[in-house]
Chains A and B, each alone.
Chain A
Amino acid sequence: MVYLEEWPVFMSSVQDMFFNKPNKTRYSVKYRGKDGKVRLKVTDDQECLQFMLHPSQDLEKLKTINAWFLSNMAGLTVDRNAV
């Protein structure tokens, strides 16, 4: 399992994964109360992409990815540019 360091690379890889397999891809947010770490994970059961958020700095990133997934998963069609 790979932790990606750069946000644009992570988002691009995530979008590619979802575009290729929209019904297999799932996105999870793991919050650990002990140390406050937030981990994003996107997987299609074959490949796994992970990104660690930094506390109090990356709320906008979380909002962006939440919005993208909600609009694409709840919508009828898959749109790479949907936000």
Chain B
Amino acid sequence: MVRLGPDRFIKRLSSLYEERKDDGTVWVTMKRVGEGKKQPKDSGCLIRATDGRKKISCLITSSYKSVDFEQQLNSLMGTHLFGIVSNQQVRKQPSSHKKKKTT
């Protein structure tokens, strides 16, 4: 299990979805890490993702601004799970106004 920072986790999760878009499954699991017999160094939300082979994880603590992470996660899931592009860029076609000379 690879523990990543929030930004790297989002990137790796995106690549996981890309690799499995035609075949395979991706699981994303959230669990609260708090008090217990084994006291973790940080408490917060542990997010894990796997495609059955690769495993990645990320810990979102209360001190971290989870709003940005939430927006990135929602955008990512919207794109890969529902095929919704959040920011559609309209490509400007190059103007090719070549007037044909007719005789």
Q: Which residues of A contact B (CB under 8 A)?
A: 22-23, 25-34, 36, 38, 53, 55-56, 58-59, 62-63, 66-67, 69-76
Question: Is the pair B28, A29 in contact by a Cβ cutoff of 8 Å?
Answer: yes
Is there an interface contact between A33 and B26, defined as CB atoms closer than 8 Å?
A: yes
With A23-B36, A74-B44: A30-B25 Cβ-Cβ less than 8 Å: yes
Chain B interfacial residues counted at CB < 8 A:
35
Contact of B34 among A22, A26, A69 (CB under 8 A): A22
Question: Smallest CB–CB gap between A34 and chain B, Å?
Answer: 6
Taking CB atoms, residues of chain A closer than 8 Å to B62 are 74-76
Contact with A along B60-92 (1 / 0, CB 8 A): 111010100110011001101111100000000
How far is A69 from B45 in the complex, measured between Cα atoms in Å? 9
Q: Is the CB of A59 within 8 A of B78?
A: yes
Contacts of B73 in A (CB 8 A): 66, 70
Beta-carbon nearest neighbor of B22 in chain A: A33
Contact B61 A74 (CB under 8 A): yes
